[in-house]
Chain A
Amino acid sequence: MSKNLGTLEETVLLIVAVIEKDAYGYTVSEEYFKNIGQRISISAIHTVLKRLEKKGYIHSEMGGATQERGGRKKRIYKVTKLGFTTLESIQAARMKLWGMMPKYHIS
């Protein structure tokens, strides 16, 4: 499997990193909506999370259950070291490119 990150994958990875403590399907999808402004179905989020985990960018463990969840446990995700370095390298590459942007394109 390729280790490349798609846009959606990258965004979700970022969100998991941002939420830090309580990142699971529902919170990630809400956070996505809040920051990106588009609705994305929970099933799609699950797919992406599973894929990121397979690629080794995040790892998961089962968390506590709550009343709202009908007593079901959460699968809580955390970003791995590999995940962080990848995010950083992407960001660095971006910054470098931004630095090379001709000034008159930036308002």
Chain B
Amino acid sequence: MHKPPPRWANRFLEWYCANHLVDEIQGDLHEAHFHRQKEHGSTKAGWWFVWDVIRFFRPSSFSKYQINSNQLKMFKDHIKLGFRIFRRNKIYSSINLSGLVLGIACCLLISLHVIGELSYDDFHPENTYRVVMDMYKKNELSARSTPVYPAVGISLNEDFPEVEDFTRILPFGGGVYSVETEAGQLIRFNEDKGVYADENFFSMFGFDLVKGNPEEVLSQPDQIVLSESAAKRYFGDSDPIGKNISFRGEHTLVVTGVMQDYPKNSHMQFDMITSLKSYDNFDDWPQNWGWYDFYTYIRVDRQTDITLLSEKLDGFLLEKKKDINEEFGSREHLWLQHVPDIHLYSEGMSWDMGENGGSAQVYFLSAVAFLILIIAWVNFVNLSTARAVKRSKEVGIRKVVGVEKKQLIIQFLTEAFLYNFFGVLIAIGVVLIAIPLISSAIDLSIDPYFLLSQKILIGIVILIVGGSILSGLYPAFVLTSFKPVSVLKGGFYSRKSSFGFRQLLVIFQFTVSIILILGTILVVKQLRFMQNQSLGLNVDQTLILRGPSSSRGDNDLDNRQELFRNQLEQNSVVKGFTVSSNIPGEENFWISGFSTRQSEGALLSCYIISIDDNFFNQFEIDLVAGRNLNRDLQTDTASVVLNKEALKLFGFSSPEAALGEVLNPGRRREWKIVGVVDNYHQATLRDELDPMAFFLNWRANDFFSIKLNTDDYPAVISSIEDKWDEIYPDNPFDFFFLDEFFNRQYKSDVQFNAVFVSFAGLAIFVACLGLFGLVSFTVEQARKEIGIRKVLGASVSRIMLLLARDYAKLIVGAMIIAFPLSFWLMTKWLEDFAYQTTIGAGIFFIGGFFVVVIALLTVSVKSLNVSKTNPAVTLREE
């Protein structure tokens, strides 16, 4: 697909280029871009285009007009002076610049990430919404469900004229897909990005088909559309259209289309889309108000008032499901999510596709980036005003010679501009270097192409201009306010200057640093707390195989499972084998309503797991009361085991009281409660424990868990794979370790942690740069005072103490502000977690100590140097 060159660069070209040259220059560059894109990719071609545009930015391309040369000369003079002053004091200038660079780079990096997050789903038709629902049981919010009933889309389309079209997605297309090659080889993969969808899927969304007609690819039963990469997996380079692909062994589908791989910034990520009509017993379900597994999207008329439609939707289900709601004491409210908002604003939604809901993190990151930038600017202000003393003579002489104040201010602003300008340039370099490092270290997606986007470039311009003014104005006024007479006479500075603006700035910097450091400690502590908590079950040394789903007939998978189980039991390192419909760390989509005697007919939602009789034993889940499910008992196909959380849900007073009771009394299927087990964590400790009901069903073979006792994993795995291939040649061998799988849920927390640590590090580093610069100047000014003190007999340590005291006060001040503030922030942050670590005094102690040590070290490096100098040296200068 051809992408046009970056728009801003193109505009810039049109702006500077003389009219009679536009044709040849722009034409040539566009043509070059067009060809380069094919050869080198759009990112590189984009940069190349920008570079060419810059190369053409020269007088010969401009339209001719006059510039006032006098002003230009003044400006040139300012710039030259700026460079000279930078060189005159390399150390302080570099400190100043590196602080700025770090701040800006940090800010840019985060902006790139944030823009990436904001760019989600911006390629769909404008007025597309997802219909989701809030579910209440007994007036209590029980779930915010993203999938809804199949009848919702149909009746919304019928009842509301403003709803133009709808499409439904059923997420049950996962499993084994296989293709037999001409050579007789079976290509098989476990696919988890497979779904069923209505036939108008491709007209609803902005996903492009490479092959196939969007109107027809999903219109008939047994049709499937593959993504480009999936097509490559199964069919290589040959044309897949019209070829067969088997789903779960028994279901043959015909490939009717190939779609482009989904962009990273899409909340939907599908590899295979099967026509909804292929689903077993498909009948469109126009009256089905009970089965909520359908993601439903609607497109509304352009003129629709969304608030009005939302109001109508809010009461829609109350009307439609009146009878059911009254019977079971429940109610449900539909509401709309604008598709581009789904990625960021789906916090707390259940059964969503992919990882959505990061708005809080995005806001947090933006705030931190902004703070660091402010710290960097504060540094600049601080250092520039500190230098005022050194430059006071220069200013005095200029004034005496007759320079106006206005010109002086412009001069200092120009210097600030130069710093900010080069700061931004270097920062862009730093960002380009840092992106690959960051992506590999913490898997945070940052796309450097966004650097060329209009938003970022406007941001950069604002950054340079705004930064120059913000950071240049105060120093400019301070520096120009000196009275020539007093400055030139000398003796204008004393160490004991009053508590001023600069001190305030230092306190601000350290307040932010302390908050970030305390935050870091807390994040680490919470993460460790969560990972060390007992999960209520044992996930060690457990190998998980994705269960086979490709079968050859009715009882085929049962028989083969028995065979596989027997084979494994002969292996001496296999300590146990169990099958289940779900494993810890995997989101459970299987939820159903049950009633009990206590619930008075109301249906209470409880998660369901199908297991075999070895499940509790193998995962070391404690039985609290009653007995385990028993495969040899005929009656146990109608038995159930609950966990403690489910007891609470159904209103049983004790485990013993629940034994012998039934679920769904008087209804079609009754389940006898035979046992109660302890709770275990199905998800991370971020979430509450779930109520769960366990049913005996060894046909539910979604996951095979194998407990191992060995050190030589590769050998064991390969021997298991051999067995698997013997018994399941039509199913791929997919394995992972349960402990790693479980811990992967903490990925976002680990990321957050890494980001936090680096920010805190940066903030304290920048703050120390500022402190170092400040101390250097103070000490420099106080050389004479120190010399005299030494002559009069003061020791080195006394002088150090004297100097450190001034700064210790500032740090203590910062702590007084930072501690309560961070305590409040930390409490807020912890509220998100179901299981929280304690904040504790230790955090403040460690954090405070750390900051004090770092700050004092920074101060003493410079002051030690000065206090050790021989007084004769300092006092001789005059």
Partner of A41, one of B26, B30, B35, B55: B55
B485 contacts the other chain (CB 8 A): no
Residues of A within 8 A of B60 (CB): 47, 50
B164 contacts the other chain (CB 8 A): no
Closest B residue to A39 by beta carbon equals B48
- Binary B-proximity of A3-43 (CB < 8 A = 1, otherwise 0): 00000000000000000000011100110000000000111
Docked-complex contact B24 and A25, CB < 8 angstroms: yes
| Cα-based distance from A25 to B55 in the complex (angstroms) | 14
| Chain B contact residues, majority secondary structure | helix
Within 8 A of B (CB), among A32-68: 41-44, 46-47, 50, 62, 65-66, 68
Within 8 A of B (CB), among A65-80: 65-66, 68-70, 72-75
- Binary A-proximity of B12-33 (CB < 8 A = 1, otherwise 0): 0000000000111111111110
Q: List 10 A-B contacts (CB under 8 A).
A: A25-B25, A26-B27, A29-B28, A30-B35, A42-B55, A43-B52, A68-B35, A72-B23, A74-B28, A75-B23
Docked-complex contact A74 and B24, CB < 8 angstroms: yes
Q: Which residues of B contact A (CB under 8 A)?
A: 4, 22-32, 34-35, 51-52, 55-56, 58, 60
Docked-complex contact B30 and A73, CB < 8 angstroms: no
Closest B residue to A70 by beta carbon equals B30
| Cα-based distance from A25 to B26 in the complex (angstroms) | 10
Docked-complex contact B27 and A65, CB < 8 angstroms: yes
Closest B residue to A67 by beta carbon equals B34
| Cα-based distance from A80 to B55 in the complex (angstroms) | 29
Residues of B within 8 A of A66 (CB): 31
Partner of A73, one of B27, B34, B58: B27
Docked-complex contact A72 and B30, CB < 8 angstroms: yes
Partner of B26, one of A43, A47, A62, A72: A72
Docked-complex contact B23 and A25, CB < 8 angstroms: no
Q: How far is the CB of B53 from chain A (nearest CB, A)?
A: 9
Docked-complex contact B58 and A69, CB < 8 angstroms: no
19 additional contacts (CB under 8 A) given A46-B28, A74-B24, A75-B24: A24-B24, A25-B25, A25-B28, A26-B27, A26-B32, A42-B28, A42-B32, A43-B55, A43-B56, A43-B58, A62-B23, A68-B35, A69-B28, A69-B31, A70-B30, A72-B27, A72-B30, A74-B27, A74-B28
How many residues of chain A get a CB closer than 8 Å to chain B's CBs?
A: 22
Closest 3 CB pairs of A and B: A72-B27, A25-B28, A69-B27
Closest A residue to B33 by beta carbon equals A68
Partner of A26, one of B4, B23, B31, B55: B31
Residues of B within 8 A of A73 (CB): 23-24, 27
Which of B25, B27, B29, B30 gathers most chain A CB within 10 Å? Answer: B27
| Cα-based distance from A70 to B58 in the complex (angstroms) | 22
Docked-complex contact A29 and B32, CB < 8 angstroms: yes
Q: How far is the CB of A69 from chain B (nearest CB, A)?
A: 4
Residues of A within 8 A of B58 (CB): 43
Docked-complex contact B22 and A72, CB < 8 angstroms: yes
Closest B residue to A49 by beta carbon equals B24
Q: How far is the CB of B722 from chain A (nearest CB, A)?
A: 54
| Cα-based distance from A12 to B361 in the complex (angstroms) | 56
| Cα-based distance from A25 to B35 in the complex (angstroms) | 14
Residues of A within 8 A of B23 (CB): 62, 65, 72-75
Q: How far is the CB of A72 from chain B (nearest CB, A)?
A: 3
Docked-complex contact A46 and B24, CB < 8 angstroms: yes
Closest B residue to A74 by beta carbon equals B27
Q: How far is the CB of B316 from chain A (nearest CB, A)?
A: 49
Q: How far is the CB of A76 from chain B (nearest CB, A)?
A: 9
Closest A residue to B57 by beta carbon equals A43
Docked-complex contact B26 and A70, CB < 8 angstroms: yes
Residues of A within 8 A of B4 (CB): 70
| Cα-based distance from A72 to B34 in the complex (angstroms) | 13
CB contact under 8 A between A69 and B30, given known A41-B52, A41-B55, A43-B56 = yes
| Cα-based distance from A42 to B35 in the complex (angstroms) | 14
Residues of B within 8 A of A41 (CB): 51-52, 55
Docked-complex contact B34 and A68, CB < 8 angstroms: yes
| Cα-based distance from A74 to B34 in the complex (angstroms) | 15
Docked-complex contact B30 and A68, CB < 8 angstroms: yes
Residues of A within 8 A of B56 (CB): 42-43, 46
Residues of A within 8 A of B31 (CB): 26, 66, 68-69
Q: How far is the CB of B559 from chain A (nearest CB, A)?
A: 63
Docked-complex contact B29 and A42, CB < 8 angstroms: yes
Closest A residue to B29 by beta carbon equals A42
CB contact under 8 A between A26 and B28, given known A43-B58, A73-B23 = yes
